[in-house]
């Protein structure tokens, strides 16, 4: 499966990565582009492999850029009982939505971000744990996000009047090159004050510095008494790279960009072709102790 997706250059890069671990005791997965198909559902094969993990006593945790409210229905469908991470790790929460860790952005960071996104004409959203603030609730981007997540936006006249309790800012644009440039520039401007990562070609996430999926893996693993090197992670986007640097087994989806594939030890099939289920079956279950 891996060879079908990786070029010679990627093979060379992967040769320098750590060898695959002998044992996996926990799985942390991204959602959009990874666990979910393009139509935002989980296939029967995915549900079967998730059940196989649970039957073997392996915790499955979700780590997503989504707010908790947009994750709960999938958590319920999977029957997960442990903690999960929203806002790229900005919120660690229980299946009932109760937050055990909640990080917010400072007003100074929010001011810089607002200025930068405004200058470049990038649509800007603010998110709290249970609130989504937008300037135009009728914009096509908002309509698309509402359809995907099921969340309802709250339109406001001025985002600068709502700096309190913001866990994530999203910059939205179909100018992918511009968004990549802004990601680089904002990262440089903010330094260690915030994490700036694209969660897809058209979405830029700005979260508190420790709100990244690498930190989420550490916190979720600690909650289960597991070491990070005993964790398998699956992802497809740039916001998954921090967890790839922490976990013992790292798996990229087949449709991921080359730099994401290069950061992972192995690459599976796409999210349209049961890549998540295939990865669990091929790479993870053989490394799980039988109960």
Mean pLDDT in residue range 88-93: 95
**pLDDT for position 284:** 97
**pLDDT for position 15:** 54
Q: What is the pLDDT of residues 120-130, one digit of tens each?
A: 999 999 999 88
Answer whether 22-102+212-287 and 107-208 agree in fold.
Answer: no
pLDDT at 22 over 50: yes
**pLDDT for position 5:** 35
Q: Look up the CATH superfamily of 22-102+212-287.
A: HAD superfamily/HAD-like (3.40.50.1000)
Q: What is the pLDDT of residues 207-232, one digit of tens each?
A: 999 999 999 999 999 999 999 999 99
Mean pLDDT in residue range 30-53: 98
Mean of the per-residue pLDDT values of the chain: 93
pLDDT > 90: percent of the chain: 88
Whole-angstrom CA distances from 24 to 53, 216, 220, 248, 273 are 11, 17, 14, 8, 24
Confidence grade of residue 1 (pLDDT, cut at 50, 70, 90): very low
Give the H or E element holding residue 99. Answer: strand 99-102
**pLDDT for position 18:** 62
SS3 label, residue 266: strand
Query: What residues does each domain of the chain span?
Result: 22-102+212-287, 107-208
Measured at the CA of 222, the angle between CA 221 and CA 228, to 5 degrees, comes to 45
**pLDDT for position 20:** 85
Report which of residues 87 and 290 the model is more confident about.
87
Confidence grade of residue 115 (pLDDT, cut at 50, 70, 90): very high
pLDDT at 8 over 90: no
Q: Tell the CATH topology of 107-208.
A: 3.30.1240
**pLDDT for position 289:** 81
Cα 92 → chain centroid = 13
Confidence grade of residue 16 (pLDDT, cut at 50, 70, 90): low
Closest by CA to 278, choosing from 287, 265, 269, is 269
Closest by CA to 140, choosing from 202, 204, 70, is 202
**pLDDT for position 7:** 40
Contact (CB, 8 A) for 247 and 233: yes
Distance, CA of 207 to CA of 211 (rounded, Å) = 6
Cα 58 → chain centroid = 20
Give the H or E element holding residue 86. Answer: strand 84-86
Report which of residues 50 and 149 the model is more confident about.
50
**pLDDT for position 291:** 65
Quote the radius of gyration of the chain (alpha carbons, Å).
Answer: 18
**pLDDT for position 17:** 57
Mean pLDDT in residue range 15-29: 83
Distance, CA of 291 to CA of 275 (rounded, Å) = 25
């Amino acid at each position: 499966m891996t060879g079908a997706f990786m070029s010679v250059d990627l093979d060379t890069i992967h040769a320098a990565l750590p060898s695959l671990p002998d044992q996996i005791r926990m799985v942390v997965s991204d959602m959009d582009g990874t666990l979910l198909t393009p139509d935002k559902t989980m296939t029967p094969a995915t549900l079967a492999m998730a059940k196989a993990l649970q039957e073997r006593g392996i915790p499955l945790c979700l780590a997503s850029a989504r707010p908790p409210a947009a994750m709960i229905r999938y958590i319920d469908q999977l029957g997960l009982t442990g903690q999960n991470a929203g806002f790229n790790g900005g919120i660690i929460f229980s299946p009932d939505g109760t937050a055990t860790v909640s990080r917010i952005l400072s007003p100074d960071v929010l001011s810089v971000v607002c200025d930068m996104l405004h200058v470049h004409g990038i649509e800007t959203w603010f998110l709290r744990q249970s609130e989504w603030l937008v300037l135009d609730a009728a914009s096509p981007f908002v309509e698309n996000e509402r359809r995907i997540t099921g969340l309802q936006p709250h339109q406001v006249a001025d985002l600068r009047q709502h700096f309190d309790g913001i866990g994530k800012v999203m910059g939205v644009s179909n100018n992918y090159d511009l968004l990549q440039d802004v990601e680089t520039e904002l990262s440089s401007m903010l330094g260690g004050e915030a994490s700036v990562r694209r969660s897809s070609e058209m979405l830029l996430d700005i979260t508190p510095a420790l709100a990244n999926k690498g930190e989420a893996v550490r916190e979720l693993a600690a909650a289960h008494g597991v070491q990070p090197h005993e964790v398998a992670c699956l992802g497809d986007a740039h916001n998954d790279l921090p967890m790839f640097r922490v976990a013992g087994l790292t798996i990229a989806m087949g449709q991921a960009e080359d730099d994401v594939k290069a950061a992972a030890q192995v690459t599976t099939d796409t999210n349209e072709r049961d890549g998540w289920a295939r990865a669990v079956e091929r790479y993870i279950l053989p490394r799980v102790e039988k109960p």
